[in-house]
Structure formats: structure tokens, C-alpha cells
Amino acid sequence: MSEPRPSDRHDASESDDTFEEIVDEATQRDPDLAVIEAGSRTLRTRSGPPLGDTVPTRPADPETDRALHAVEQELAGRWGETKLEPSVTRIAALMDVLGEPQRAYPSIHITGTNGKTSTARMIEALLNAFELRTGRYTSPHVQSITERISLDGAPIEAARFIETYEDVKPYVEMVDAQQPYRLSFFEVLTGMAYAAFADAPVDVAVVEVGMGGTWDATNVIDATVAVVTPISLDHTDRLGDTPAEIAGEKSGVIKQGATVILAQQPVDAAQVMLKKAVEVDATVAREGMEFGVGSREIAVGGQLLTLRGLGGEYDQIFLPLYGAHQAHNAAVALAAVEAFFGIGAEQARTLDIDAVRKAFASVLSPGRLEVVRSSPTVVLDAAHNPAGASAAADGISEAFSFSRLIGVVGASGDKDVRGLLEAFEPIFAEVVITQNSSARSMDADELAGIAVEVFGNDRVQVEPRLDDALEAAITLAEEHEEYAGAGVLVTGSVITVGEARLLLGRG
């Protein structure tokens, strides 16, 4: 039986009942990795051997390291990513004086609440497998700012990052002088990414929004493929209080005549996206209809998938990531690449299965149910909202057979921390409450007060310093004579995960 193609456009007159049949309840996803560079304190516990890494450390050359630090300091002096004036006026002005570098290559634009960075990495891997030069822009970073701009699957070299900054700096200063507000940290990095991609040059750019869509700094591209990962409540002070309101902001990435790859969404969010697609004559492919996950089973080091793409079925796909949410991310990524190549609309065929298998088998996503230590096993997950926490809880329960799991939670004060803790309560035997070095971090005692209400007093321990919290959690995992079956999950904030990663010797 043939599957519908994305060229089968949605009829705006369809009833809400039809939407409910078409769009399943939102798949709860692991959040995007968004961690910042942290300090280099030494954890006072035993650490297992390195398990391999793709995240760059500081430059080995002292001069390059000093130059990179100087660039970081200059960028840090601008508005941070949590302070913004919703407009693309400044970034558009920068693109103009730079000669519109973002128009030198086609783009795939990714928005949504959870899953953006994992999906971007998968799309990049697939495009690389078909010998296309790629530029990937994601945010924030794990340990090095250079990770935000990737060329051909690898973070831009520090020297090239510095050179790119120096190249655009005069134009940035020119725009600063003409605008009521200076370009922000994120806007300057976005300009750098687009310039670096044009200079490489790349065949295609894979671009993740920073926040929202309509007024996001990345939204000066006219992407031929727009990807919308699952939408849930986050950044409600800027994007809206309902999935529909948030979808309204994120739908701004859908451009005239584009193809929209729509992950499973809440019904009201799907309605907004489909309405926008109709308005701009965009083609829509919906997860669960035109593409999706055919089957999945747990495998050593990940999972084995059968994916149903726009052009047909792809079986025996090994994905070295944990959790059902990552399988859904893989289906979205595959459909996006098929759409980029015109499959499903212009062509009725599948991509080369060997290339697809090779690409997915190579995918890594630091900070997403990432094992960073053994004996006992320590896992990092950057869940920072209830939807992401729920996905992480499901994923770790499915993939790991821990007899006892200790949580280490440090959260930002502007998040739904109660909802996050409630999602983890069923899987944590005990929780160690802590805080990270960010000014946005919720005070450990304040967070502990909420944790006691969720877990009960006997299951909560407070260690304000993250290194002490990690040591306490590892001790708790070991002391009940369940050494081989105990584990630790560090979560609650992307910043907490980034700092823990360094403390555990992964930086």
C-alpha cells in the first residue's frame, strides 16, 4: 500500500476531528543540548577511563587559546542569549553589509522545543554521507564556543573561528553604530556562521534556531526545507503560554513554497503550522502519516530501527543513541534529507540504504543520555523542561537496567522545576540537589524545598557545589552493595550538564 506524499497538501477546511486523527499527542522529546563553557575544578572521586569524545577542548597552542579567549570576552560583553529585542532588523543589516552570505547556499532550517540539535546532527550526517559539504549552526555549546559552527561534521577550528570573527568585526561595529541596540552575542555568532559557510564554501547549511522562529536571528535565510521538532511549553515569557501560541512564533521559519517536515505535535500546535503552510503554499509531510518510525528495538549501545521515509522503507538502521525520542528524531531527519533531494514530491525512490545506515551509525549527541563514566555508571542528560525530563526518564529506564538510580539536579530559576522533578520522581531512589555557576541557577536550598515536596525529606540531599554533589551521588550509588547495578543521572539544566562533563574529565 503506497503512502501519501508530502505534495498532498492539507485542506484548511478539515475539521478538528481530522486533525486529531492525523496528529498524535506530542511525542515528549529530549531537549536540545545547550551547555556553556564551565570551570575546570577537579572532582574528588574516582573516574573511569575516557569513553571517546567529539567535543573539542581548549586550543593546545597558548597564543591561539589567548586569542580565542579574547574573542569570547568581546562577545560576552554583548547582550546574552537570554536578553533579546525580538527583531531581525540588526541581523538583516549585518547580512546586507556582508554581501548576503546566507544566500550563497541552500538551507535546512530547524525549529521546535525539544530535539533540534540531535536532529540537526542527524541531518548533517546524512548529507555528509552523500558527499555534500555541510555547515551546521547549533546553540549553545557543550564546552567550546567553536562547536556552534561546524563544517563537514566537525567544529570549526579555533584559528578559523578567530579569523572569521576578525573578518566580520568591522561590519559588526558599523551596524552597531547605526542601530538603537548593538548586535547581541547570538546575532554576531549567527553572522559569523553564515559568513564561514559562504567562505568554505558549503553545499548546504543546517541551521537550528536560537529561540522561536519569526524574529530569531537565524531567520534571514529562505530555507527550502523547514523542520519543526515537537513543541511543548518552554520560554513561555517570550513565546507564549500555549503550544498554539508558541507554534505561531516558530511557524515563521516556513517560507514560500518550502517543504515542511512536521514532527508529532499537540493538536493545536499542528493546526497553526498547517495553517501557515497553506498561507505560503508550502508542502507538508507529517510524522505518523507521510513518514515515521516503523519499528524499534533495543540494541547494544543504542537501538535498531526501521524508518518509513517519504520514498519508502529503510530497515536495519542502527542508531547509537538511547530513547524513543531519538528514534523519532531520526525519522524527522531522514524525511528532511529526502525532501531536500526532492524525494516524495519530485521523485519516488529511496536514498541509498548503505549510505543511510552508515550515516546514522556515526551520529553522536553529547549530553543526551550520554555515558561519561563507569563503575558506577554516570549518565548526563540536558533535560531542562518537563517534556525533556519525561523523555529522559523513559529513555534511561528502557536502555539501562539500574537497580538503584541517584539523581543530581541543578536547575535554572526560570524553568518549571516542579514539573521537571515530578517527571524524574518515579525513577530516582534519591536525589542530590545542587546548583551550577550560572547567575540563572536556582539556589540549591530553594530547589531543595521543592524537591522535598515532590520526593519527601528522606530522599533529598543538598550539596550546593556541583563537585560535592557528584561525589555524594556516586557514594550513594555505591554504598548499598549494589555497585554493579547502581547509576547516577546528572540533569536539570544544560549548564549543569556542561559543568559536570568537565568535572568528570570529558573536557
| H/E stretch holding 162 | helix 158-178
User: What are 468-488's pLDDT values in tens digits?
Assistant: 999 999 999 988 655 558 999
Range in 27-36, 47-56, 164-173 the model is least confident about: 27-36
According to the 3-state scheme, what is the secondary structure of 364-430? Answer: CCCCCCEEEECCCEEEECCCCCHHHHHHHHHHHHHHCCCCEEEEEECCECCCCHHHHHHHHCCCCCE
Judged against a pLDDT cut of 70, whether residue 332 lies above it is answered with: yes
CA 339 to chain centre: 21
DSSP state of 60: S
Compute the distance between CA of residue 492 and CA of residue 470 in angstroms, rounded to an integer: 14
Compute the distance between CA of residue 220 and CA of residue 102 in angstroms, rounded to an integer: 8
> Cell for 446?
530553594
Find out whether 283 and 259 touch, Cβ atoms under 8 Å. Answer: yes
Please name the residues in contact with 446: beta carbons below 8 A apart, sequence gap of 6 or more.
413
3-state secondary structure of 378: strand
Residue at 116: amino acid letter: K
Look at the alpha carbons of 202, 208, 212, 217 in this order and tell me if their dihedral is positive or negative: negative
Is the pLDDT higher at 53 or at 139?
A: 139
User: What are 268-322's pLDDT values in tens digits?
Assistant: 999 999 999 999 999 999 999 999 999 999 999 999 999 999 999 999 999 999 9
First to last CA, the chain: 50
Judged against a pLDDT cut of 60, whether residue 34 lies above it is answered with: no
> Cell for 320?
547509537
**Residue 35: its pLDDT value, please?**
32
β-strands 292-299, 302-308: how paired?
antiparallel
Compute the distance between CA of residue 384 and CA of residue 231 in angstroms, rounded to an integer: 14
Compute the distance between CA of residue 403 and CA of residue 20 in angstroms, rounded to an integer: 39
Please name the residues in contact with 353: beta carbons below 8 A apart, sequence gap of 6 or more.
314, 315
User: What are 67-92's pLDDT values in tens digits?
Assistant: 999 999 999 999 887 667 788 999 99
For 158, left (φ over 0), alpha (ψ -120 to 50), or beta? alpha
Compute the distance between CA of residue 27 and CA of residue 117 in angstroms, rounded to an integer: 16
| Averaged pLDDT for residues 355-367 | 95
Compute the distance between CA of residue 22 and CA of residue 286 in angstroms, rounded to an integer: 8
Compute the distance between CA of residue 312 and CA of residue 291 in angstroms, rounded to an integer: 9
* Cβ-based neighbour number of residue 69 at 10 Å: 12
DSSP state of 38: -
Report cis status (omega within 30 of 0) of the bond before 230: no
DSSP state of 409: E
Residue count of the chain: 507
User: What are 411-420's pLDDT values in tens digits?
Assistant: 988 889 999 9
> Cell for 163?
579569523
Find out whether 283 and 276 touch, Cβ atoms under 8 Å. Answer: no
| Averaged pLDDT for residues 221-236 | 85
| H/E stretch holding 31 | none
Find out whether 274 and 266 touch, Cβ atoms under 8 Å. Answer: no
pLDDT tier for residue 116 given thresholds of 50, 70 and 90: very high
Q: What percent of the chain has pLDDT over 70?
A: 85
**Residue 141: its pLDDT value, please?**
78
Alpha helices in 251-384 (DSSP H): 267-279, 324-340, 353-361
